[in-house]
Structure 1
Amino acid sequence: MPSPVTSSVIINAPKALLHDHLDGGLRIGTILELSDSIGWTSNLPTTNPDDLQAWFTAGAAAKDLLQYLATFEHTLAVMQTTEHIERIAFEAVEDLANDGVVYAEIRFAPELHNMPFAASTEAICAGFRRAEESARAKGQQISAHLIICAMRTEHRSVEVVEFVDQYRTIDSKVVAFDLAGAETGWPPSLHAEALTIARQRHINLTIHASEPPDLELISDALAHGAHRIGHGVRLDRDTHTESGELTLGPLATYVRDRQVHLEMAPTCNTQIGAVASVGDHPVIPFLRAGFNVGVNTDNRLMSDVSPSSELIALNNAHNLTWEEISRLVTNAISSGFAPLDERQRIINDIVSPAYSVLVTG
């Protein structure tokens, strides 16, 4: 008999994360400490830790993506030195390892940091490695990698993708290119030159596509070569349920049949108003219909979530089985951008044995 799916076991089970922003995952204590060190404290809405967390979460829950993005002023303010960035990268991976994550891809936009792209990227990769070593010393296992984003509201995407192409030969921690930021009015097609470079040079590519209520952004991302879709929650508009069966339109059918991975983030998608609640999020219906989906946090600080808390919320809404949770984790790792042998090792040595015990009881 399978083991009961309980919150405590979910926390201890191995997990994977493909969609997590470095500047959206800072610890409250780190923001307060670093703000004090750079003279930013007077700009914070409050210095009470609980109230500051509530302020970030309220901004995220305003059901407005632009208001959500405005909260990043305070995290980015303390991420303008390599020392601070290395520490924040270390803490991000340490927090994920403590939550049972064994494979993580974290993303950042170098153009948001007032230093050469290489300086911020080197600091992040160093923080990742220091955290991996610290985790091993505690008997934990985590493999962390970096996705580099261009901001779609800016005009530096060609510069950023050229940097990704160059830096991935210097440090294998760099695994992919992404377009991030505000989406309405900023489709991937505006960055066609950068996306063409990514395709021509065989750079792994994921593109955010979550905000507009229509399906055009997802179609545009796929047309420009996206290997994965960031969020993709609006794809549910190309489906309908009839007699308990999920019926798919042409785009949804393509995404499922081609097994395009959807990096879904239930709490964040609820906060920006894409769905009414975590229980209404399409990630689990999609999983049960054969889509290649995973569960992500997006911005752990703003949404006040962890990988475990997202799975716990979904389990409370959908009564998940361990086999389903295992598929969510394996889907993510299998769709990751790290080298195949590394991802297969994590699945074969860590994930499959752990879930085999939970599935069989």
Structure 2
Amino acid sequence: MHKKSIILISLLILTGLFYGSDAQAEVIKRSFGKKLQLKKFYSVTVDDNNVKWFLTESGIVSFDGKKWILQNKNTQLPKSDVKDIEFVKTSSGRKIWVASPEGAALVSIPVDKKKPVNTYNTENSPLLSSNVMSVAAGANSLSWIGTEKGVSAIRGDKWLDYAYLEQYPQELFKEHPITSLATSTDGDSLYVATVGVGVLRVYRNKVDGISGASDYAQWGPIYMPSDNVYSICIAPDGTQWFGTDMGVARHTGYNTLANWTVFDTKNGLINNFVQAIAVDKDGKVWFGTKNGISVFDGSKWTAITEKEGLTSGNVLCITVDKDGVIWIGTDNGVTCFNKGVFTNFN
């Protein structure tokens, strides 16, 4: 058993928003274990058994609710400069995508030294580049792979053809790198966050190709606070949230040119640099910034910082697990928020 120290702090506004009373919030401190030295948590995904998988500076770690495990037994897994991870259910089983400079690696769960790792690169697949920046799971075994030269997609064992390269040429992605990917609610469309040209959009067409749609950028009636986009979240109701270095944009409905709203520090955000976004089971939107979290319930905003319970204000990733627990990766460990209790792992 790990020793726990409990710090009680008054959070009148916070508790009123999250669980409807003026109770006190607990902050529980725990460690990862004696053998694990983990600090920076860059990316997170949750599998169908509710196991949390994190990308850290030490590699991939998993947490089943009881034990943290560094997944370092399989020597075929990429180890250096890994950018992203994503759980995906394929026709051949439960797997994890790993984005790396050597390609997109796909490994079966549970990860052990005997499991084969299929690493797709330009030498053995139609990938536009082996330098993979981000990955996202669509529907029906469709996976999206963002590289330094563009977006690729594989469905089962079939790679989709490229029908968007005239609209979005490879040079565009080299000059304006991909930072994040998110799929539409049906999984067949992809939102591509970039540095410098806003959000690009592609979709799976009727002939198993990837076609381009209009982009979201700072032009005309589209209200993007910045063309430097670092996070995307598509809510279950289809609402699109885009986090930038100058605030967050919200788009609702299917009219590209209408229904845009911008939020920044002037009207709710604690900090304008939005690095992560997630929607909880109550529909509240969690925005992870460089200086804490802002939670939006549709009308009211609540700020969460280290004072309220975070292990660090520099939030790098956020997810919601199968039980509705919020998991927050930072540059100084992990915070989880469950039923009014903060638990910090570091």
**Which TM-score applies when normalising by structure 1?**
0.30
Identify the structure with the greater helix proportion. Answer: 1
**Which TM-score applies when normalising by structure 2?**
0.30
Identify the structure with the greater strand proportion. Answer: 2
